[in-house]
Amino acid sequence: MSRSSIVCAAIILVSGRVYADNWADLVRSGRESFTAGEYAKAKKTFGDALAAAKQFEESDPRRPETQIHLANTLLELGEFGRCEQLCLETIADVEKHHGAKRPEIASTESVLARL
């Protein structure tokens, strides 16, 4: 576990909240866990990152980015219903705020195709 991941986890444990400024560290830690095949850990970390991302504006691109990471993780864990639901929410949110021709939609549709 990297130093920044440990610090981030300590802040979350002490405060009981996930702050938006921890988003990048959470996503980085989630990616590390996902790459290492630690999907349950990645799910938790990406869930925390999504909680942080929800503190940003609804149109902020970090929201769908985080949702796509979480959806990929859910797919690996076999949580197909939740994965599909999250993908559909992501597509609807991106279309609402940015239109239908966005790379986030293609990435989300890729997850749905694998589902």
Task: Give me the domain span that covers residue 69.
Answer: 3-114
- Higher per-residue confidence, 26 vs 97: 26
pLDDT, averaged across the chain: 85
Convert the pLDDT of each residue in 70-85 to its tens digit: 999 999 999 999 999 9
- For residue 1 the two structure tokens come to 């576990």
Is residue 17 scored above 80 in pLDDT? no
Percentage of the residues of the chain whose pLDDT score is greater than 90: 58
- The beta-strand segments (E) located in 49-101 are none
State mean pLDDT over 6-22: 53
State residue 8's pLDDT score: 47
Q: How many domains does the chain have?
A: 1
**Band of the pLDDT at 34, cuts 50, 70, 90?**
very high
Phi-psi region of 99 (alpha: psi -120 to 50; beta: other; left: phi over 0): left
- Higher per-residue confidence, 42 vs 102: 42
Distances, alpha carbon 89 to alpha carbons 3, 13, 79, in Å: 33, 29, 16
**Band of the pLDDT at 100, cuts 50, 70, 90?**
confident
State mean pLDDT over 27-47: 97
Specify the CATH number for the domain of residue 81. 1.25.40.10
State mean pLDDT over 42-70: 94
Q: Would you tell me the crossing angle of helices 103-114 and 62-76 to the nearest 10 degrees?
A: 10
